Structure 1
């Protein structure tokens, strides 16, 4: 009889115990999709004119808002952001930016092969418009490239 009682219990509908594990498969799927999206989108976010920046051991400046990027390339052509401008258009655009953003920071990116005079002339033009927060961009020195001493 004892066996019969246990068998009667087993014939009825079984209830499943609640699952205690977390199903991470949907989360992994979403993370992989986001990873692919960011891998594709990241190279598109880098814009500007390609220049060979000089190397220094200076620390990066703290940033509070988006600075105005002024670039002079190896050929001496000037641009603001990614917009390549002639001499007259450059001055006009710089003046318009000063009126629109009077307290903006300006970063100057100059090719390392340029003579100092061209970089100084660009710096004079930027400060001549009235910008007071001006910085020169450089490429940090790695440990392998650091001079001995």
Structure 2
């Protein structure tokens, strides 16, 4: 650090620590006020896990629905039209243990086609719907 005598006309090399002390005191006061609030406990009633539920007997094979670029539908690699798709979805929705419907939509397919399939699946009551990557 440089010491200055009163005769120098150049810039001072001393650090002015007053603003730094002011900021540190303000931060200290803020932390002193907010720290007790952080330890305040909020009672939340969380659901407890049930250990009595048996695991499913067997895992069902998922249904693969492929939608190609032109909008054609393939139910487990078998071509199907829209009415056939609705019939298949209705049959699956009737089951108590529904398999997962895995939708594999091509990158170039119109969003309207995918939205229509999702809407049909939801309207028939399918609850397990997923998406897979194109292969």
Relative to the length of structure 2, the TM-score reads 0.50
Higher relative contact order (CA 8 A, sep 6+): 1
Judging by fraction of residues, say which structure has more helix: 1
**Higher-Rg member (1/2):** 2
